[in-house]
Chains A and B, each alone.
Chain A
Amino acid sequence: MPELPELNPVIHGKLRLALLSLLSGVEEAEFTWLRQKTGATDGNLGAQLLKLEEAGYVSVKKRFVQRKPQTLYRMTDAGRAALTEYVQALRQLLGGAIDG
């Protein structure tokens, strides 16, 4: 019987997984848009995005638009690869669960 894969703990958190999935469908997204889509609080969202940034899964860009600060997040190649691997592992585990 093949060994079941481990799930990446950085991605496995619900909010972090939602954030990476959202970012996979866009080129880049603003903090407020991510907050609106996930319904998370500013503090929690900031903390989870920081974890993804530290893992190298998202990159951050800050800019000013009409004198207002804006924080933009973009998924990195490493983030995309990690999400793809996570989905494959998830499917494999679910397949195992169904078979079992």
Chain B
Amino acid sequence: MTANTEAQELKDRLSLIETMIAEGRRSTERFGWTFVLWGVAYYVAILWAGLGHDYKAWPITMTAASVLTGFIIAQKRSKRPATTTVRAIGTIWTAMGISLFILLMSMGFSGRADQHTAIALSAAMLAFANAASGIILKWKLQIACALVWWALTVYACFGGGTPLTIAFLMAIFFCQIVFGAYGMIAEARQRRKDAAHA
């Protein structure tokens, strides 16, 4: 083997290492579908509560959404490799979800929930989780969603009534449904790219 061929082979090895490390990192699971699912769940709960079933609309819808989320994650997890990034982001959202669930349930059952407090707290917690994952993933769009939720937190403390409800519905639409759908499209694109590589 000539020195040139040998050097080329070593360069190929180095390039193989770089490509494979990138492949592993690219497999970070996306969770666009969870944003869509929870966005729809919020709309169902708000609509149901609006029909006069306030005491059961939120607990039933949130429990159903939690069970469905857990089930789908368990299904998907078995197919993808575990990465530290996925575990870190998953931990943030799980902790936030449990905190929000306990808080809203307690407020609902104690009868101490009011529109301002419930929306301000929900928006602040969603802003926290979006900001944390956006910073970890260096994803500007998710950081923008966090800004929207922070803005709603402030507005919920000062505003009220129908305008606040509309602002909440709009934030859910853009930061849950539209953002989640965008995440799902990005994931589908990545899957197609991976299939072309294989």
Contacts and interface: CB of A to CB of B under 8 A. Distances in A.
A91 B14 contact: yes
B51 interface: no
Say what secondary structure dominates the interface of chain A.
helix
| Chain B contact patch, size range | 20 to 34
A100 to B, nearest CB: 7
A70 to B, nearest CB: 7
Interface in A26-80: 26-30, 32-33, 36-37, 39, 65-66, 70
Say what secondary structure dominates the interface of chain B.
helix
B20 A27 contact: no
The 9 closest A-B pairs by CB, nearest first: A25-B24, A21-B20, A29-B81, A97-B7, A26-B81, A27-B82, A65-B78, A21-B17, A25-B25
Contact of B24 (A22, A30, A83, A91): A22
A82 interface: no
B194 to A, nearest CB: 8
A93 B14 CA distance: 11
A79 to B, nearest CB: 13
Interface of A: 12, 14, 17-18, 21-30, 32-33, 36-37, 39, 65-66, 70, 83, 87, 90-91, 93-94, 97-98, 100
B11 A94 contact: yes
A33 B80 contact: yes
Contacts of B18: 21
Interface in B8-46: 10-11, 13-14, 16-25, 27
B24 A93 contact: no
Contact of B10 (A23, A29, A30, A97): A97
B80 to A, nearest CB: 7
A12 B84 CA distance: 27
B120 to A, nearest CB: 37
A90 B21 contact: no
Contacts of B11: 94
A57 B87 CA distance: 23
B12 to A, nearest CB: 9
A26 B14 contact: no
Contacts of A17: 13, 16-17, 20
